[in-house]
Amino acid sequence: MEIPVHNFYQNLPRLETSRLILRAMASSDGPDIFAYASDPDVTRYLRWSPHQTIRDTENYVDEVLRQYAEGLDGPWLIEHKAEHAAIGHIHLMEINVQHQKAQVGFVLLKRYWNQGLAAEALGKVLEYAFSELDLNRIEGYCITENLAAARVMEKAGMRQEGVLRESFFQKGTHCDFSVYAILRREFER
The CA distance from 133 to 83, in Å, is: 30
Q: Supply φ then ψ for residue 51, to 5 degrees.
A: -70, 135
Q: How would residue 189 be classed by pLDDT, with cut points 50, 70 and 90?
A: confident
- Taking residue 122's Cβ as centre, other Cβ atoms within 10 Å add up to 23
The CA distance from 5 to 132, in Å, is: 11
Beta strands in 101-172 (DSSP E): 101-108, 137-143, 159-170
The whole domain housing 168 covers 5-188
| pTM for this predicted structure | 0.93
168 close to 175: Cβ distance less than 8 angstroms: yes
Q: What is the pLDDT of residues 91-135, one digit of tens each?
A: 999 999 899 999 999 999 999 999 999 999 999 999 999 999 999
The CATH number covering residue 124 comes to 3.40.630.30
- What's the rounded mean pLDDT across residues 149-176? 96
pLDDT value for 124: 98
- Percent of the chain predicted with pLDDT > 70: 97
Rounded mean pLDDT of the chain?
Answer: 94
Q: How would residue 6 be classed by pLDDT, with cut points 50, 70 and 90?
A: low
Q: Please return the burial class of 91, using the count of CB atoms within 10 Å of its CB with bins 0-12, 13-18 and 19+.
A: middle
182 close to 159: Cβ distance less than 8 angstroms: yes
Q: What is the pLDDT of residues 132-153, one digit of tens each?
A: 999 999 999 999 999 999 999 9
- What's the structural domain count of the chain? 1
pLDDT value for 7: 80
The CA distance from 25 to 170, in Å, is: 26
More confident of the two residues 154 and 71: 154
